[in-house]
Amino acid sequence: MTPLSSFQRIRQLTALTTLAVAATAFATPADTAFEKLAGECIEDLLQARPETATQLGDHRFDDRLTDYSPAALAARETSLRKQLAALEQIDAAALTGPNRTDAEILRLELESMLFTLTEEQPHLWNPLSYNDSLATSIYLLTAREFAPAEQRLKSAAKRLEAMPRVIAQIKATLKNPPRVHTETAIQQTAGAIELVRLGLDPLFEQAPAMRAELAPAQEQAIAALNDYKAWLETEVLPNANGDFRLGAERFQKKLRFALGSDMAPDEVVRRAERELETTTDALYATALPLFKKDHATASAAELADRPRVIRAVLDRLAEKHANDETVVARAKEITDAATAFVREKNLVTVPDAPLKVIVLPEFQRGVAIAYCDSPGALEPNGETYFSVSPTPADWTDARRRSFFREYNDYMLHDLAVHEAMPGHYLQLAHSNAFRAPTLVRAVFASGTFIEGWAVYAERVMADAGFGGPEVKMQQLKMRLRAIINAILDNKVHTAGMTEKEALALMMQRGFQEEGEAVGKWRRASQSSTQLSTYFVGAVEHDDLRAAAERKEGAAFDLKRYHDRVLSLGSPGVKYVRRELGW
């Protein structure tokens, strides 16, 4: 059977979901108008951002890269303003079924994209904002076998040929970026060069005749990337004095878009600071019995020294850890164990979608330690990748030891829960099965719901006994990290928090190793608002479950609850609460 094109797949999904909704509700004129507009908005986005289309699994634009010219950016702004105006003309009260929620999601996303383009303007000052075009665009064509190797290589050739144009646009646009962004861009550009040089080899093994055909495009792209890296190093970096802080006004606006939550931006830090205390209490209560095992003769004063007790237990747990050669294999073993545990405890329905634990690609290193790369909602190849990053080659032995003390064996248990089972992998597999009249939820998933679920899943597994009190220690430590992430996110960008203050908060209050704290400082400096999604999403999931337990009482069933929450895609938690009546 001939595989469906991406366009046919979109048409098929839309037809199926429209029929499904029609079975329960008659479409109103407002529904018809909204569904048409939503389709136009998504089509416009996918054409403007072809790398996003590829990531979602729409492969019509795999041979293109984003146009960053002033004319293209101006046209995009015009489109967004027209789309928002058209959405305002639709009677929201007359929408039915999922359209009621999806219209709100679409409005928020259009406003967010317009804010990014016209107010935050990362294309003017953040070289990392171009990474999708310079590296990810090629990686996405190799990561999944969604089409024959020859077809993907032909698309790669076109993207490679377009790289010099993109780099010329970057050079014409980028002005005085922050130093930390520039340093990371240099590192990631080096990874992009290696990706272009070697990353297509697996496809060439399947289609060897294509190697010679792509050689000119590869050489041209590598030359352009080398030139770009040299430009960053010699011309940009020496004068990279831009302020990485977003500032209070822009941060507050961006946070509203990023969270999609009823929690007011100024409430985030207040609640985080309260939970910093209560979570530390829980960490001490978990640590104390473990400390007593190792220190049978400890005095009452020693047992009452909360930071010392917590640190002593964490230090002992840190002694058991993997290394660069074994960390990926160990992560796979733990993921398999977590999957078996979820099934045994009957916590949530486990999907059949495949999961692979892999080494984090070089070009993606330098910001996060690990991540879950799930297939887009339109992707016919459903493999998910749990990517784990060994330490960079230029790290000292001391920093490498610090890293693996932080990501010790017990922390790897918690990390596998967060990224894979029953965290991101499981939740996103459920999400990709959701169907509605439009693709709004498929394209505009809520990061707060997604990250919040993963942090909440850590709690569920630890409470169920996965890994014993040792893993519970790491889960609570990770909860502290999520709390501190939100505090850092806000205070770095709005209150001038210094690196010294941030490191003290992370290492003293969060019990983090020095290497982890330094890495997080760089991440907080290079991103804004994303670090808040973990904490806000987690407390929203906690609150949602508490509301369901109160409403259902003795009839509450945890697996049924989880399956229902995950059945609606990945909208903001407030929409799940509304749609499920909690």
Q: Is the pLDDT of residue 8 over 60?
A: no
Tokens at 398, concatenated: 């001391």
Q: How far is CA 233 from the centre of its chain?
A: 28
How many helical (H) and strand (E) elements, i.e. helices and strands, does the chain have? 28, 3
pLDDT tens per residue, range 162-214: 999 999 999 999 999 999 999 999 999 999 999 999 999 999 999 999 999 99
Q: Is the pLDDT of residue 537 over 90?
A: yes
Range of lowest pLDDT (105-109, 127-131, 390-394, 485-489) = 390-394
How far apart CA 526 and CA 181 sit, in angstroms, is: 6
8 A C-beta contact, residue 122 and residue 116: yes
How far apart CA 517 and CA 121 sit, in angstroms, is: 28
pLDDT at 263: 87
Q: Which residues of 117-146 are buried (b: 16+ CB within 10 A; e: fewer)?
A: beebeebebbbbbbbbbbbbbbbbbbbbeb
Question: Which one has a higher pLDDT value, 310 or 396?
Answer: 310
Per cent of the chain over pLDDT 90 is: 81
Classified as helix, coil or strand, 55 is helix
Taking CA atoms, 99 is separated from 96, 324, 374, 444, 571, in Å, by: 6, 48, 25, 14, 12
pLDDT at 353: 84
Classified as helix, coil or strand, 205 is helix
What is the crossing angle of helices 424-432 and 409-419, to 10°? 10
| Continuous H helices in 263-319 | 265-294, 300-304, 306-318
Other CB atoms within 10 Å distance of the CB of residue 319 = 9
pLDDT tens per residue, range 324-337: 899 889 999 999 99
H-helix or E-strand containing 384?
A: strand 384-388
Tokens at 471, concatenated: 């893993």
- Tell me which residue of 42, 70, 130 sits closest to 445, measured CA to CA: 42
How far apart CA 515 and CA 524 sit, in angstroms, is: 14
pLDDT tens per residue, range 114-167: 999 999 999 999 999 998 899 899 999 998 889 999 999 999 999 999 999 999
**Residue that has been written with the tokens 């490498």 in this structure:** 400
Other CB atoms within 10 Å distance of the CB of residue 580 = 16
Report the pLDDT averaged over residues 475-480: 97
Q: E-strand spans in 394-553?
A: none
pLDDT tens per residue, range 420-468: 999 999 999 999 889 999 999 999 999 999 999 999 999 999 999 999 9
Q: Which residues of 76-107 are buried (b: 16+ CB within 10 A; e: fewer)?
A: beebbeebbebbeebeeeebbbbbbbbbbbbb
Classified as helix, coil or strand, 490 is helix
**Burial class (CB within 10 angstroms; exposed 0-12, middle 13-18, buried 19+) of 241:** exposed
**DSSP state at residue 62:** T
Report the pLDDT averaged over residues 544-555: 96
Distance between first and last Cα of the chain? 45
| Continuous H helices in 65-148 | 70-88, 99-115, 122-125, 131, 137-143
Tokens at 486, concatenated: 């939100």
